[in-house]
């Protein structure tokens, strides 16, 4: 199943992308009548290289463990900003 960040137990976190979905091991049975449309789920790398992102384009960069509410396979660059005044005595 694929979840949006709002469906995770943590809700949307600051580093979640607006069009980010999560692969989950959660299984649910839904009626076909609940399907609104289709979407294309890209890897983050492919999504970042799309020149014209459409309304159907989404990306996935990690997995969500339903039982524990934890994310796995979450790899991202983290930048730390140190003000110059802290580095110079």
- Right CATH for 2-87 from 2.30.30.490, 3.30.470.20, 3.30.750.24, 3.40.50.720: 2.30.30.490
Output the CA torsion sign for 17, 22, 28, 33: positive
Would you kindly state where each structural domain of the chain is located, as residue ranges?
2-87
Quick check: 37 pLDDT over 80?
Answer: yes
* Residue 71 vs residue 44, higher pLDDT: 44
Say if residue 78's pLDDT is above 80.
Answer: no
| Interatomic CA distance for residues 13 and 34, integer angstroms | 26
Of the pLDDT bands very low, low, confident and very high (cuts 50, 70, 90), residue 79 is low
Q: DSSP for 29-56, please give it.
A: ---GGG-----EEEEHHHHHT-SS--TT
What's this model's pTM, rounded to 2 decimal places? Answer: 0.64
List of residues 6+ apart from 79 with CB closer than 8 A: none
DSSP 23: E
Distance CA 33, CA 6 (A): 22
Residue 27 pLDDT: 79
């Amino acid at each position: 199943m694929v979840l949006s960040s709002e469906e995770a137990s943590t809700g949307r976190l600051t580093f979640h992308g607006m069009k980010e979905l999560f692969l989950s091991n959660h299984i649910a049975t839904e009626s076909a009548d609940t399907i609104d449309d289709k979407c294309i789920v890209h890897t983050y790398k492919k999504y970042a290289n799309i020149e014209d992102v459409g309304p159907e384009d989404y990306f996935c960069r990690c997995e969500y463990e339903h039982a524990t509410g934890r994310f796995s396979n979450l790899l991202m660059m983290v930048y730390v900003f140190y003000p110059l005044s802290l580095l110079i005595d």
